Structure 1
Amino acid sequence: MQSKLELRIDGPFEARDESGAPVAGLSARGRAMLAFLALSPDTRASRETLATLLWGDRAETQARGSLRQELSALRKVLPEGVLDADRDCVRLIGAAVAPPPPGAVLLDGVAISSGAFEDWLRDARSRRADDLADRSLTAARAALAAGDGRTAQAEAARALDHAPDSEAALRCLIDAVAAGGDRATAHAAFRRYVERQHTEHGTQVPADLQALVDGVRAPAAARPEGREPAVAVLPFDELSGGAGDMFADGIVEEITGALSHVQAFRVIARQSAFALKGEALDVQETARRLRADYLVEGSVRRSGDRVRIAVQLVGGETGETLWSERYDDRMDDLFDLQDRIAAHVAGQLSPSLRRAEILRARSFRPEDRSAYDLVLTALPHFWAHQKDENARAVALLNAALERDPDYAPALAYKAWALAQQPSYMWSDDPDSDHRAALTTARAALERVGDHAPSLVAIGAAITLSSGEVRLAERIIDRALTIDPNNAWGLMRRGWLYTYIDRAADALDVFDRAEELSPLDPFRFNIFFGQAVAVRVLGRYEEAIRLIHEGMHANPGCTWVYRVLAGVYKLMGRDADSDAALEKLLEHYPHLTARYLMNCIPPSARDFQPDYVDALRRLGLPEG
């Protein structure tokens, strides 16, 4: 029997009816309720449980009333008969849960201000990841016992996606090579595992595990000094069109064109990729023939006026899937649809490729890394928004400049990193760091040409370390003219707009940045930018919520207590402001009013006088 409702609860929440059409109009609590019911025994839960879970911050009577309203709203949008409720229980009927995509997190992006829900979600994510990992590992061991190395490796890789710290899954994956698995893919998985142990836990892999993998290691291929990766967009499979249908080719042409604007990689000419159409080549051979480091593959399926487009990025050396996405849409305007899909692919593919390149660069010994490799290695330290990590990024960028003193990306990111030091109160001498950031930014600007990522970094440094907002705006606009789908460029444009009385426009830009790169490592800074924009518009409660969302996304960003204290002061909530200030001083005990004013970006001081006045009234010692 076909289910009336399909739920995707791993990753961004989706609900689709039996025709495949998305169910619109679901609130955050509605999505959470459906997921909770889907995971509950017999897909049912008591009203009391749901009211406490989703409205635990409210009185019992109010919580039960809110539950009734939410159930009424759900019945209006869900297929008939899917949600059943009596006086005591609520039950989900005829609903199926879609298989989780690799690495997806349960209810990613769903945030509710309820302590009970946060506790449940944290535990449920851990239980679900462990359960899915155990299932895959059991299947992998069964395949190993049957001598099926490729299936064993695929299942072990799935287990690692769900439980990336599972040494047992990694050992199983390595064992699969002896039974016919792929050496390069096993090496890539090991490399990711080693990197995670180092960055997340500060630990080294056991010596026996290192010895085990030495027999299957496939060293990363070196590239010519400073060469950026090459990407080829292959012809998409048209799964439902007639002979001679050009829709899939049109999608590929638009994606190739959009990617060609991204300066972080080179795009193989479309005609070269199409020359291989129809040849039965595996991924590695296709990449070798095209001299591409990465391949973009896809398929198009149409039914009536609806179209489903699946896209994935794979490593040319390993054949490993690095990113995948599915787009479902209507074919109302063919050209608008092609443009929209191309923009999304370009925006979301960039951070995935960047992550792959960072892992590749780290596989080399530090002394063997090129200036390009060293810049890549610096990026995770740079975007962590923590004092020690930022200092490490500057050191790596200096090492890149020792390799090549005129390397514009290294100069540009160094300028941005130097500008972060005073802006986030890590600096011993804010004025000196602001000057150094500007000097480095100007040196980068002389060498940058049309490299959009470097232009974004230069614009960010000028925004943070000077009052020259119009110059910064021109530089960031230039970057976005070159690469309209650059999520970091859109993020910095949003921040800049908050300094020039364009807060409403800033919100539109931040939304676009998040849409293009929803898993971006800088997503937390998008939340903070949105908080500043709505604060400028006088929407203080919304600002507080967004600040907390950003802090949840990156708990290491303690400098943002400064913003929180200022917003509470503007609201007249002095007790909350004092509590935020106390938290701020725990991390920055050296803080004085003079130091704080010297650290704030000059643009913010000039264009946000009410906020600056609120900070002056926090009661910090003058210094």
Structure 2
Amino acid sequence: MGGRPSAVRQIRELLMSRSTVQTSTDDEPVGPIRFGNFELDLVRFELRRDGQPVPIEPRTFDLLTFLARNIGRTVTRDEIFSEIWHDRIVSDAALSSQIKAARRALGDDGNSQQIIATVHGRGFRLRRQLVPGGADAAEPLPGGRTGMPTLVVLPCTSLDQDGRGRVMAQGLTEDIITALARNRWLRVIPRSTAFALERSSDDLAEIARSAGADYLVASSVRRDGNRVRITVQLIDTRDMRCLWSEAFDRDMTDIFELQEEIARLVSARLATELGIAEQQRAARQTRKNLGAWELYQLGSIEFYRFTGESNRRCQRLMRQAIQQDPEFGSPYARLAYAMILEMVYFDGERDEARLDEALNLALRGLDHDDQDANSLFALGRVRLARCEYELAIDALDEALRLNPCLALSHCGLGDSLAYEGRIEEAIGRFQTAIELSPHDPFRWAFMSYRSLAHLFGGEFQEAASWARRATQVPNAHYWANANLVSALGHLGDRRQADEAISALLRMRPDFTRRFAAERLFYVKNPEQLEVFLEGLKRAGIA
């Protein structure tokens, strides 16, 4: 490519010259370049979608034109630097900014990459898009769909003969859509589109195809006197298989409170089930040409195994996802939190440099999307590990303002409140987390952190009960066993304490009171730490 002027620049110079303007040449046609429902007018320097102009900056237009001239081919970063910046020295951030602007103009983003794909270690590619009314097939995505999933919520059906449930059904549909849309990693089809699709077809598979949805949510309302039953299903559109279904039976009191409660529960539980489904989908993909979304999901699988080795694998996969797509914010947040967990739960060294890196990663995630509740949750946990207690609570409060259905944030806030001595508030947050997401991959921690709060409050029987429940979750970490040992030590139950110690030492043979004190470096109140350590001592931990 060398220092050759860009195609757009050549056209501009040609139009400004006094010579006769050529409307086309063999190698550099100046007619509109069309892809999908877009066209680039190289004479007017205009991007149009369905015939309507789309605002776009000149350099972004140049970049998009270069990608369009090479549609279907991966163009390297070096080629783009040469073509668009004419070999001037510019940062990778400048290119990332232009790619982000081009995607925004096309209604694309770095998560879905439906139009502009990032090719790991290579560059970028404008996908061959399906032309409306044409015969060309859309470009197949390597290894299946890449990018964040799309979901459509069908209008809730009223099963009442007299139609009394119709108003509730309509309101419930809107509330569920609103609640689900707070999950920034999920593309939710707007209500108006969902209603139009539902009216146009009775076939769920056809609705899913028309919407381009990966998942469908179908629901119904049935009233009987003062009782109401709301049933919700999550359907995978690939095979129309029901992934999750639940019925909620309630008394009719305040219809708005009822709709809000059900929408919160449905959103939280659907988010958990969708997260698991996306992880399973990524695990089935071939390892070639994995996108940032798939790498993030594979890393999340490792994250939830809660072992030292899986934590390190998670960190590697998150770094690969960031390298694949630096504009995708979620891997930054998960990597930051994984680093903190390594210091607390595993064998990672706690030092200021690693704490600073974790903070920087969490903040970079928010730089890409400051409305992402998951990133704010991670920031709150990083702040706690840095003993920045008020900042931790502030971040988690903001996370819950953005998405009150996120069980993790309720748990994280409860943990921070416990260290402030606000035990009753903390326990309420843990209870909310458990109710919102009873099958959450992190549910052992909801119970384990709650047991610690009861322990700090001197409620040793409750502490033992919740710690025991936590240990029964398959992926529970050994710290749940440690909480149980401490609670039983305070209760003076020697037989159960001996059994709990045996289970703890099978998982962590070198567990001692000194080890526990070193790993609980973030506990604010020395008296709380002493309560925990004293329970271990009474139980017989050296």
| Alignment partner, residue 256 of structure 1 | 177
1:472 to 2:392 alignment: yes
Amino acid aligned to 1:318: D
Distance (whole Å) between structure 1 residues aligned to residue 293 and residue 527 of structure 2 = 37
Q: Secondary structure at the match of 1:493?
A: helix
Distance (whole Å) between structure 2 residues aligned to residue 552 and residue 609 of structure 1 = 25
**TM-superposition CA deviations, 1:393-413 (whole Å, max 9, x none):** 112112212212453211111
| Alignment partner, residue 29 of structure 1 | none
Distance (whole Å) between structure 2 residues aligned to residue 398 and residue 597 of structure 1 = 31
Return 236-245 or 502-511, whichever deviates more: 236-245
1:236 to 2:156 alignment: yes
8 Å CA contact retained: 2:373, 2:402: yes
| Alignment partner, residue 257 of structure 2 | 336
| Alignment partner, residue 515 of structure 1 | 435
The alignment's C-alpha RMSD in Å is: 2.8
Q: 1:219 to 1:445 in 2, by over 3 A?
A: closer
Pick aligned residue for 1:538 from 445, 458, 465: 458
8 Å CA contact retained: 1:434, 1:466: yes
| Alignment partner, residue 206 of structure 2 | 285
**TM-superposition CA deviations, 1:130-180 (whole Å, max 9, x none):** xxxxxxxxxxxxxxxxxxxxxxxxxxxxxxxxxxxxxxxxxxxxxxxxxxx
8 Å CA contact retained: 1:253, 1:270: yes
Distance (whole Å) between structure 1 residues aligned to residue 495 and residue 232 of structure 2 = 51
Deviation at 1:436, TM superposition (A): 4.2
**TM-superposition CA deviations, 1:26-68 (whole Å, max 9, x none):** xxxxxxxxxxxxxxxxxxxxxxxxxxxxxxxxxxxxxxxxxxx
Distance (whole Å) between structure 1 residues aligned to residue 249 and residue 501 of structure 2 = 46
| Alignment partner, residue 99 of structure 1 | none
1:564 to 2:484 alignment: yes
Q: Secondary structure at the match of 2:200?
A: coil
8 Å CA contact retained: 2:461, 2:487: no
Q: Secondary structure at the match of 2:518?
A: helix
**TM-superposition CA deviations, 1:393-449 (whole Å, max 9, x none):** 112112212212453211111111111112114335566654543443344344441
| Alignment partner, residue 320 of structure 1 | 241
Distance (whole Å) between structure 1 residues aligned to residue 352 and residue 534 of structure 2 = 22
Distance (whole Å) between structure 2 residues aligned to residue 260 and residue 442 of structure 1 = 23
Deviation at 1:572, TM superposition (A): 5.4
1:407 to 2:328 alignment: yes
8 Å CA contact retained: 2:143, 2:289: no
Distance (whole Å) between structure 2 residues aligned to residue 323 and residue 291 of structure 1 = 20
Amino acid aligned to 1:564: L
With structure 1 as the length reference, what TM-score do the two structures score?
A: 0.59
More helix by share: 1
Q: Secondary structure at the match of 2:265?
A: helix
Distance (whole Å) between structure 2 residues aligned to residue 344 and residue 567 of structure 1 = 32
Deviation at 1:482, TM superposition (A): 0.8
Distance (whole Å) between structure 2 residues aligned to residue 532 and residue 322 of structure 1 = 34
Amino acid aligned to 1:326: A
Amino acid aligned to 1:597: A
Q: Which has the larger radius of gyration?
A: 2
Q: 1:388 to 1:238 in 2, by over 3 A?
A: same
Q: Secondary structure at the match of 2:234?
A: strand
Q: 1:412 to 1:504 in 2, by over 3 A?
A: same
With structure 2 as the length reference, what TM-score do the two structures score?
A: 0.68
| Alignment partner, residue 106 of structure 2 | none
Distance (whole Å) between structure 2 residues aligned to residue 508 and residue 353 of structure 1 = 26
Distance (whole Å) between structure 2 residues aligned to residue 530 and residue 315 of structure 1 = 34
1:552 to 2:491 alignment: no
8 Å CA contact retained: 2:329, 2:365: yes
Pick aligned residue for 1:497 from 402, 411, 417: 417
Higher RCO, 1 vs 2 (CA within 8 Å, ≥6 residues apart)? 2
Distance (whole Å) between structure 1 residues aligned to residue 515 and residue 447 of structure 2 = 25
Return 5+ residue gaps in structure 2 as ranges.
1-139
Once the two structures are superposed, the pairs formed by residues 69-468 of structure 1 within 5 Å of their partners are 222-223=144-145, 227-242=147-162, 245-427=166-348, 433-463=354-384, 465-468=385-388
- State percent identity of aligned pairs: 30
**TM-superposition CA deviations, 1:67-116 (whole Å, max 9, x none):** xxxxxxxxxxxxxxxxxxxxxxxxxxxxxxxxxxxxxxxxxxxxxxxxxx
1:610 to 2:530 alignment: yes
Distance (whole Å) between structure 1 residues aligned to residue 327 and residue 534 of structure 2 = 43
Distance (whole Å) between structure 1 residues aligned to residue 202 and residue 369 of structure 2 = 39
Distance (whole Å) between structure 1 residues aligned to residue 499 and residue 309 of structure 2 = 26
Q: 1:394 to 1:508 in 2, by over 3 A?
A: same
Q: How many aligned positions are there?
A: 401
Pick aligned residue for 1:482 from 402, 414, 435: 402
Q: 1:346 to 1:326 in 2, by over 3 A?
A: same
8 Å CA contact retained: 1:422, 1:434: no
Deviation at 1:296, TM superposition (A): 0.8
Amino acid aligned to 1:246: V
Q: Secondary structure at the match of 2:198?
A: coil
